[in-house]
Amino acid sequence: MKNRALKRLIYSLSVLLILLSFFPVTSYGSIKKDTIVNNSKNDTVTNNTGFKIKTIIIDAGHGGKPSSTEGHFSHGASGEYSTERNVTLAIAFKLQKAIEKDLTGVKAVMTRTTEDDVSFERRAEIANQNKGNIFVSLHCNSLSNRYIRERVGTKRHKPVYRTVSVPDRSGKGVLVLVYGLKRTREAENEIKANQVEGDSEMSAGLDPDDPVTIILTNEYKRKFRQQSINLANLINNEFVQTDERPSEGIREQSIYVLCHSAMPSVLVETGYINNPDDEKYLNSEDGQNEIVASIVRALTTYKKSVEQLSQ
């Protein structure tokens, strides 16, 4: 028993020392060296090549009621004449085509290809089962109605008021989201299942509570979050600097599909569909093509940076 425990300790320390050589401490705001080595079957690192981005998941947000089930669904936001589910699907198809055309060797996988909705859980499963390297979720923003008090008359020489709901169409432009720290535990569980324990070579002989497994999980989590913020900045800069669109910047938000996708993940609010100008832009060929082109440019820059750093 003592010999087995000793062997176990020696093995764990050996693995830890090897791993630490791949995981230098880097600043939060910049990537000086890629620290995640993906050893999945689709992304095996050899002596001659480094890490390559091969699969990008495209998530068209929301959808209509599933035709064959009574499960969860969300129609999403709507404008004067269009809906989020249709706009995001149209942009997603264009983005899939552009990625596979402009990013050599990259496959784009859709989480939704019809108007039917797909549950949050299933979207994350599709991303993880396809060994995605990047997760991009497309949405349309909208503001809730405002409530105002308006005078409707007088009674006994006193003004009478009522509260009414009026549309708030003041929102305009883009917003990019990354997962918030409130759901860190969920992100850890998905990373452990799909990146650490999911790799038979790396996880051989390890258990979920092993210090090496915990260290690996935390390093993946830190790296994925850093990469998510990096990609979000690249996308936002393209919208602002190239397309000259207004932007609300980058925010953290506790979103299920972002924290349950074990990979760098961003959610792009492409515009306010309940704003007349944004709705027209989101439904136009020129607007959709411009959104797609900006995302592809950002993905291209991101891809080059992480692949060069892993050489």
* Residue at 135 is within a domain: yes
In a domain, 310, yes or no: no
Query: Which residue type sits at 133?
Result: N
26 in any annotated domain: no
Distance of CA 119 to the CA centre of its chain: 15
- State which residues form the domain around 129: 54-297
- For residue 179, what is the domain's CATH number? 3.40.630.40
How far apart CA 81 and CA 233 sit, in angstroms, is 31
- Exposed, middle or buried, 285 (CB in 10 Å: 0-12/13-18/19+)? exposed
Residue 16 within a domain: no
Q: Look at residue 193 and tell me if it is in a domain.
A: yes
Question: Total domain count for the chain?
Answer: 1
* Residue 40 domain flag: no
Phi, psi of 8 (to 5 degrees): -60, -45
Q: Model-level pTM greater than 0.85?
A: no
Strands (E), 222-301: 247-253, 265-272
pLDDT in tens, the chain (311 residues): 545 544 454 445 444 444 444 433 333 333 333 333 343 444 433 334 578 999 999 999 887 765 544 444 556 889 999 999 999 999 999 999 999 999 999 999 999 999 888 988 899 899 999 999 999 999 999 998 878 887 777 888 888 788 888 888 999 999 999 987 654 555 445 444 554 444 444 444 445 555 544 555 555 567 888 899 999 999 999 999 999 999 999 998 877 778 777 889 999 999 999 999 999 999 999 999 999 999 999 999 999 999 987 66
Helical H segments across 130-210, by residue range? 184-191, 200-203
- Tell whether 12 is covered by a domain: no
- Domain assignment present for residue 254? The answer is yes
